[in-house]
Amino acid sequence: MCGTVEFKLAKPQQNASACHCTQCRKWSGHYWASINGPIDGFKITKGEDKVSWYQSSDYARRGFCGSCGSSLFWHGFGLSSFAKLISVSAGTLENTKNITLGRHIFCEHKGSYYELNDGVPTYTTYPGA
């Protein structure tokens, strides 16, 4: 939001995920939409010293801007299916023209104040994990 942190993500997936787990809802204020890409194609190009990482569980950490608090990254370092990926907040990307919402995940934890009726597939976990 403040422009302190910039990054590049090579080969991002074209389908965003909307995560409704309790942690993502608390972290983002609603559900968190993100794009996955290979961690070896991810590089913080500006403000690396301003990125703060919070270990939110035994297997994952969340990165945020230390200046403005924006939610930026999720990395499941302790999960074999996610260790080689990083998730970046879809709202931080400059060009989202070719990105579509591909799935709602962890829907059994969604907030009671909203409905999922947009026709996008819903899952109780992360499909393929």
Q: Is 50 helix (H, G, I), strand (E, B) or coil?
A: helix
Domain ranges of the chain: 11-109
**One-character DSSP codes across 106-121:** SGGG--TT----SS--
- Give CA–CA dist 19/14, Å, rounded: 16
In this prediction the pTM is 0.91
Ordered per-residue pLDDT tens for the chain, 129 residues: 999 999 999 998 889 999 999 999 999 999 999 999 999 999 999 999 999 999 999 999 999 999 999 999 999 999 888 899 999 999 999 888 889 999 999 999 999 999 999 999 999 998 866
CATH of domain 11-109: 2.170.150.70
Residue 44: CB atoms within 10 A of its CB come to 16
What pLDDT score was predicted for residue 129? 62
